[in-house]
Amino acid sequence: MDSAPELDPELLDKVTNLAKRRGFIFPSAEIYGGFRSTYDYGPLGVNMLRNVKNAWWRSMVQLRNDVVGLDAAILGPPAVWAASGHLETFTDPLVDCLKCKERWREDKIDGVCPNCGSTKFTSPRAFNLMFKTQAGPVEGEGSVAYLRPETAQGMFTNFANVLSTTRKKPPFGIAQVGKSFRNEITPQNFVFRTREFEQMEMEYFVPPAEAEEWYRHWIETRFAWWVDLGIPPELLRRHEHAKEDLSHYSRGTTDVEFYYPWGWDELEGIANRGDYDLTQHAKFSGVTLDYFDPTTNERYTPYVIEPAAGATRGMLAFLLAAYHEDVVEGETRAVLRLDWRLAPYQIAVLPLSKKPELEGVSKDVLAALQPHFMCDYDVTQSIGKRYRRQDEIGTPYCVTVDFESLNDHSVTVRDRDTTTQVRVPIANLTHHFWESTAPS
Ligand code: ATP
């Protein structure tokens, strides 16, 4: 059994508050009282979420020559979801508490109502999690459409298109990042489980004989990705599903779990989906979806290995893992120790005072850095307070322009984690940061 690390019992509240107060994540439609566990990503959150997705794209697409990207439609016809099995089986068991009438997911409550403690429930009903809507002005069977509950099906329905346009051959993958929608019965824990969320998924098509090997490969590759971006390995574990718990399409599933304030829970799932998806879509569409290998003269339906991660859930994990409190110059500070690739701003340019003499050179420094790094510029309050603000939002470096800068053409660079300061000539500044942040 993995041991549970010690966490601040108020961690979730602290991170939720910080996210709201500093502009990472706002409750959606807040001026109307909010809307059902739906969230908006503010000026800092949108930068960070984009960084999470870019880091994933970089490692899954840019740095590989066996994976290509896709951006498929969110709206889809019923046929896709009939073939995938979602119309029939994408359900959660729903029960109503007989005492307080609250509705719950049966598999998440251990037989006790989290609201009133009662143990008496209605018998479970299958509740389909897909959002159903209508495409076009005429209601009726022919106009039914669904919002996708996962991005994966776009990769299967475009399998033949991608194969014929890219000349890829198995093993190769198709990657996609985008919104998915599930009518979750009990959305909870901030952005951990929401009805609208973003996913980062990749379908890796392999010769069946290589499936097990690639399944193991992707479990390790994906685990390492989270660690590389700053999640301590002791807050992560692999959880392999027992055979009897596997989804209908799966021949093996391993979750990468994160230690959230409420305990171990899923961050990403890696599944060996066999040939289920391509076979189903071939059957329902009547289009052949297989691969002919001209070197062996063999025709086969590739197996699929799928690493499926949440971008919004991932951002929550990164925030939780990065939140720290420490003492600097006798004062407790909150600091987000975010990897520089994820931080909303990588550098803050801070003129020591509002005096006009400093403005020109400060703006020049900003203009030199901005094409290369996401920068903040702040002239309000004392320099100490401004450092704390940047620490709290995870900015790795502050650049302070002072009166000496006018003479020595240098600035002070302060490191968020160590708070050490070094003097760097303005002419070398971009290069200095390129060196400190060089991609691995
Ligand atoms: P869960 O068991 O938590 O409902 P799942 O096993 O159904 O999740 P998958 O279908 O494997 O999830 O989706 C892949 C990833 O997408 C999950 O690991 C998670 O990071 C993310 N995800 C799934 N549902 C949600 C949601 N409602 N809100 C936020 N992220 C989600």
**Cα 307 to middle of ligand 1, angstroms:** 12
Instruction: Please compute the mean of the pLDDT values over residues 353-370 and round it to a whole number.
Output: 96
Residue where a domain stops, chosen among 319, 336, 362: 319
User: Could you tell me if 156 and 204 lie in one domain?
Assistant: yes
Going by CA atoms, what residue is nearest to atom 24 of ligand 1?
A: 193
User: Could you tell me if 241 and 99 lie in one domain?
Assistant: no
Residues with CB under 6 A from ligand 1: 150, 182, 184, 193-194, 197, 199, 266-269, 308-310, 312-313
**Cα 50 to middle of ligand 1, angstroms:** 19
User: Could you tell me if 211 and 85 lie in one domain?
Assistant: yes
**Cα 375 to middle of ligand 1, angstroms:** 33
- Range(s) of the domain holding residue 428: 345-437
Give the Cα separation of 319 and 15 in Å (integer). 7
Task: Copy the structure tokens of residue 239.
Answer: 């959880």
Q: What is the CATH number of the domain that holds 49?
A: 3.30.930.10
User: Could you tell me if 117 and 60 lie in one domain?
Assistant: no
Give the pLDDT score at 317: 98
Residue 327 domain flag: no
**Cα 310 to middle of ligand 1, angstroms:** 6
Going by CA atoms, what residue is nearest to atom 3 of ligand 1?
A: 266
Give the pLDDT score at 186: 85
> Ligand 1: which atom is nearest the Cα of residue 310?
20
User: Could you tell me if 108 and 35 lie in one domain?
Assistant: no
Q: How confident is the model at residue 2 (pLDDT cuts 50, 70, 90)?
A: low
Q: Using one digit for the tens of pLDDT, what is the confidence trace for 419-435?
A: 999 999 999 999 999 98
Give the Cα separation of 310 and 440 in Å (integer). 23
Low-confidence winner among 88-97, 280-289, 400-409 (lowest mean pLDDT): 88-97
**Cα 128 to middle of ligand 1, angstroms:** 15
User: Could you tell me if 272 and 393 lie in one domain?
Assistant: no
> Ligand 1: which atom is nearest the Cα of residue 308?
14
Give the Cα separation of 70 and 65 in Å (integer). 15
Q: What does DSSP assign to residue 428?
A: G
User: Could you tell me if 376 and 302 lie in one domain?
Assistant: no
Pocket test for ligand 1, best of 246, 313, 315, 316 (most atoms within 8 A of CB): 313
**Cα 65 to middle of ligand 1, angstroms:** 28
Low-confidence winner among 4-8, 57-61, 348-352 (lowest mean pLDDT): 4-8
Pocket test for ligand 1, best of 176, 266, 305, 306 (most atoms within 8 A of CB): 266
Q: Using one digit for the tens of pLDDT, what is the confidence trace for 65-118?
A: 999 999 999 999 999 999 999 999 999 999 999 999 999 999 889 899 999 999
User: Could you tell me if 63 and 154 lie in one domain?
Assistant: yes
Q: Can the peptide bond before residue 137 be classed as cis, meaning omega within 30 degrees of 0?
A: no
Percent above pLDDT 70 for the chain: 99
Residue 141 domain flag: yes
**Alpha carbon 15 to its chain's center:** 16
Q: What's the pTM value of the predicted model, to 2 decimals?
A: 0.95
User: Could you tell me if 241 and 363 lie in one domain?
Assistant: no
Residue 334 domain flag: no
Q: What is the CATH number of the domain that holds 428?
A: 3.40.50.800
- Find all residues with CB under 8 Å of 217, minimum gap 6, and list them: none
Residue 324 domain flag: no
Give the pLDDT score at 36: 87
Work out how many domains the chain is built from and give that number. 3
Residue 268 domain flag: yes
**Cα 125 to middle of ligand 1, angstroms:** 21
Flag whether pLDDT at 141 surpasses 80: no
Instruction: Please compute the mean of the pLDDT values over residues 277-288 and round it to a whole number.
Output: 97
Flag whether pLDDT at 61 surpasses 60: yes
Percent above pLDDT 90 for the chain: 90
Radius of gyration of the chain (CA): 25
Residue where a domain stops, chosen among 319, 335, 364: 319
User: Could you tell me if 145 and 110 lie in one domain?
Assistant: no
Pocket test for ligand 1, best of 41, 153, 193 (most atoms within 8 A of CB): 193
> Ligand 1: which atom is nearest the Cα of residue 182?
27
- Find all residues with CB under 8 Å of 198, minimum gap 6, and list them: 49, 53, 177, 178, 179, 180, 310, 311, 312
Give the pLDDT score at 138: 84
Instruction: Please compute the mean of the pLDDT values over residues 253-266 and round it to a whole number.
Output: 97
Pocket test for ligand 1, best of 39, 105, 194, 199 (most atoms within 8 A of CB): 199
Residue 81 domain flag: yes
Flag whether pLDDT at 440 surpasses 60: no
Residue 4 domain flag: no
Give the Cα separation of 414 and 419 in Å (integer). 6
**Cα 91 to middle of ligand 1, angstroms:** 13
Q: Is 233 exposed, middle or buried (0-12, 13-18, 19+ CB in 10 A)?
A: exposed
**Cα 192 to middle of ligand 1, angstroms:** 9
Q: Check residues 125 and 192 and name the one with the higher pLDDT.
A: 192
Give the Cα separation of 315 and 192 in Å (integer). 9
Q: Using one digit for the tens of pLDDT, what is the confidence trace for 152-180?
A: 999 999 999 999 999 899 999 999 999 99
Give the pLDDT score at 433: 95
Q: Using one digit for the tens of pLDDT, what is the confidence trace for 191-243?
A: 999 999 999 999 999 999 999 999 999 999 999 999 999 999 999 999 999 99
Locus of tokens 């990403």: 268
Give the pLDDT score at 1: 45
Instruction: Please compute the mean of the pLDDT values over residues 39-63 and round it to a whole number.
Output: 98
User: Could you tell me if 291 and 375 lie in one domain?
Assistant: no
Residue 6 domain flag: no
Residue where a domain stops, chosen among 319, 354, 381: 319
Instruction: Please compute the mean of the pLDDT values over residues 316-322 and round it to a whole number.
Output: 98
User: Could you tell me if 260 and 382 lie in one domain?
Assistant: no
